[in-house]
Amino acid sequence: MKRRDFIKTASIGSVAVTSSAISTEANAKKAEHKWKMVTTWPKNFPVLGTGANLLADSITEMSGGRLKVKVYGAGELVPAFEVFDTVSRGTAEMGHGAAYYWKGKIEQAQFFSTVPFGMNATEMTAWLYHGGGMELWQETYRPFGLIPAAAGNTTVQMAGWFNREINSVKDLEGLKMRIPGLGGEVLKRAGGTPVNLPGGELFTSLKSGAIDATEWVGPYNDLAFGLYKAAKYYYYPGWHEPGTTLEAVINEKAYSSLDKDLQSIVMNACKIVNQEMVMEFTAQNQAALDTLVNKHKVDVRKLPDDVLTKLKQLSHEVVNDLAGSNPAAKKIYDSYEKFSKQVKAWHDISERIYYNVR
Ligand code: CA
C-alpha cells in the first residue's frame, strides 16, 4: 500500500510539474507589450493623477505583466494639452484626460465630458454604457485612430475661486476666468472672458492676477493646489461641471495588436477606475471643505439664484447652438437629451425626493 501511494503521489507530482512547465512556456510565447500613458494631470496629483496611476497599475497587474503601462505626468513627455494628438499619432499608446480639452479640434467631444446644468456622474456613466453614448463617442474619435473609455468622474464640482464677490449677473462681466468646455462658452455669453489652462498653471495665474477666477474640481483637489492662498471667495455649485467624465484614450492600432484577454483587461480597468475616482472624491470632499473653512478661513458662498438662472438660460443657448452648428454634434446632443430627460424624470422621484426627506 505504502509503495503504491508513493508511486501515485510521485506521478501526480510529475504531471503537475510538466503542466506548469507547459503553461509557463505558453505564457512566454505571448507577446509582451510596453505602453506609455500620457496625462493632462500633474504627476501623482490626488485622484486625477493617482487615478491614472491606478489605471496603469491595474492593467499591468491584471495582465500578469504582459501589458506594462508607464504613466507620464503633464509636461514629462508632452504638455498637458497634447495628450490627444500624442496618442492619435501613436507616440504614446494611451492617454488620460478629459474630452472637453479637445474642443478646439472636435467641438462635439465636449458632450462626453460634461454639459452645464446637465447630467451628474451616475447619469453620465449610465448614458455612456447603457444609453448609446459610448457608441457615439467611439464614432467621434474613430477618425483620429483613437478608442475612448470613461475612466473617472469628478462628481459635482465647485463653481470655483473668485477674487471678487459675485452678487449679480453684472459681476460676471469682464471676469477673466479659467473655465474649460461648454461652461467657458457660457461665461463668454455672460460677458466674461474664459481661458483654458492646465491644472498645474492655475495657482500662479490666479495669484499673479493674470486671471480673476478659476474653477478646478472640488474641495479635495482644490485644497491640494492651495487655491485658497490665491483667492478669497469659494462659490458653489459647479453648475458648469455637474459630473465630468474623465477619459482614457487608446491608440486603435496598439489596441488591435493586443490579445482579446488583454483588450478586456484594458477596458475593464477603465471601468474600475471610473468608479474608484467617484468613491475617492465622495469620501474626501467634505473633510477637505472643513479644512478650507476652519483652518484656512475660506469664504464659502452659494451663487445667487438669479445668477444661476441666467447661467442656466445661457447654457441652453450654448448647447443648442452647438447642436445646430454641425450634424455630428446634433446626433450626440439628441441622444444625450433623450437619455437625460428620462433619467431626470426617474431621479426626480427617487434621488431628489430622497435628498429632501432624509
Ligand atoms: Ca473643473
**Residue 167, in any domain of the structure:** no
- Look at 12-26, 213-227, 281-295, 334-348 and tell me which has the smallest mean pLDDT: 12-26
φ, ψ for residue 90, nearest 5 deg: 90, 10
Q: How far does residue 287's CA lie from ligand 1's centre (Å)?
A: 19
In this model, does residue 296 exceed pLDDT 90? yes
For 191-244, what is each residue's pLDDT tens digit? 999 999 999 999 999 999 999 999 999 999 999 999 999 999 999 999 999 999
Residue 293 has pLDDT above 60, yes or no: yes
Are 181 and 245 contacting, i.e. CB atoms less than 8 angstroms apart? no
What CATH number does residue 257 fall under?
A: 3.40.190.170
Q: How far is the CA of 246 from the centre of ligand 1 (A)?
A: 11
Which pLDDT does position 12 carry in this prediction? 45
Extended strands (E) in the chain: 33-39, 67-72, 94-97, 146-153, 160-162, 176-178, 193-195, 213-214, 233-236, 245-251, 299-302
Instruction: Report the pLDDT value the prediction gives residue 31, as an integer from 0 to 100.
Output: 76
Ligand 1 centroid–CA 185 distance in Å is 14
User: 130 exposed, middle or buried (CB, 10 Å; 0-12, 13-18, 19+)?
Assistant: exposed
Inside any domain, residue 207: no
Residue 121 scores a pLDDT above 60 = yes
The CA 117 to ligand 1 mean position distance, Å, reads 14
- Is residue 131 domain-resident? yes
150 falls within a domain? yes
Is 232 among the domain residues?
no
Q: Is residue 26 part of a domain?
A: no
Q: How far is the CA of 74 from the centre of ligand 1 (A)?
A: 17
Q: How far is CA 199 from CA 145, 157, 196, 232, in A?
A: 26, 14, 9, 19
**Is residue 193 situated within a structural domain?**
no
For residue 102, how far is its CA from the centre of ligand 1 (angstroms)?
A: 15
Neighbours of ion ligand 1 (CB under 5 A): 157, 215, 241
Residue 132 lies in domain: 32-155+243-282
Q: How many domains does the chain have?
A: 1
In a domain, 299, yes or no: no
